[in-house]
Amino acid sequence: MALTDTEIQAIAATAEEIRETILDMLVQAGSGHTAGPLGMSDLMAALYFHVLKHDPKNPSWEERDRFLLSNGHTVPVQYAAMAHAGYFPIEECLTLRTFGSRLQGHPERDRLPGLETTSGPLGSGLSQAAGMALALRMDGKKNRTFVMMSDGEQQEGNIWEAVMFAAKYELGNLTALMDRNFIQIDGMTEDVMPLDSLKDKYEAFGWHVIEVDGHNIEAIIDACDHARAIAEKPTLIIAHTIPGKGVPEIEYDYRWHGKPPTKEEAVRFMKELRNGAGRVPNEYA
């Protein structure tokens, strides 16, 4: 069922609220990753507020879709999305990275209901998601498995073992989303270890691939709906995003990959977010 313009706008507005929550979290923690989470906010809003079948009041619901975050360092965006969706109070987001908090710097499954896996070592999430997808199919379940990955972790060998595994077992119930923002902690991905053409590579391994503008809510949701129609192949959605989205002075700057804003910077960044100063790419719209 197609979304109305009002519904799409509501999800987009939630994405902006998620961005503001991320800034609040990072300033309070004094550590953490800024660029990736800001860039992924539209993706997470689309997932948690439309795509995923889930129940914040019953996180262990058997019929839920499974969502895994492979690039665990970007977890502030998942915590913020979960809080806005009702998994826990938004105020708890301010406990990010504090001793004893359920919201650690990388997701820990046993700490917070609603997390499917513990992540940190890059390159592991796709293998875990493929295993879950196969297990669900063996159990005769209709649930789907979704996994979010970074582009930088495509440099990990474990990813390509999982790519082969998922294609071999024709895991049509597996949808992978890639945050294609072209940065990693040491620089631009194409300088550190060139990745393109990722679409050609995944297709050569037997996957169905869709490329979208990762800030276009309607395009993200359409791609996820499209993936549901692919029965005998896993699907990869390459979402082209702007790292640091909404804060022009840090957009595309790899130095903000793992750097939190100071209190003074956060005040300025928040004004930029609320003024809608960010630029949106349209090449994949």
* Domain coordinates in residue numbering, the chain: 5-274
- With a CB cutoff of 8 Å and minimum separation 6, the contacts of 95 are 101, 102, 103
| Tens of pLDDT, residue by residue, the chain (285 residues) | 679 999 999 999 999 999 999 999 999 999 999 999 999 999 999 999 999 999 999 999 999 999 999 999 999 999 999 999 999 999 999 999 999 999 999 999 999 999 999 998 899 999 999 999 999 999 999 999 999 999 999 999 999 999 999 999 999 999 999 999 999 999 999 999 999 999 999 999 999 999 999 999 999 999 999 999 999 999 999 999 999 999 999 999 999 999 999 999 999 999 999 987 444 443 433
pTM (predicted TM-score): 0.95
Neighbours of 104 (CB within 10 A): 20
Is 5-274 a domain of CATH 3.40.50.970?
A: yes
Burial degree of 198 (CB within 10 A; 0-12, 13-18, 19+): middle
**Do strands 145-150 and 66-69 pair parallel, antiparallel, or not at all (unpaired)?**
parallel
Strand partners of residue 178: 149, 238
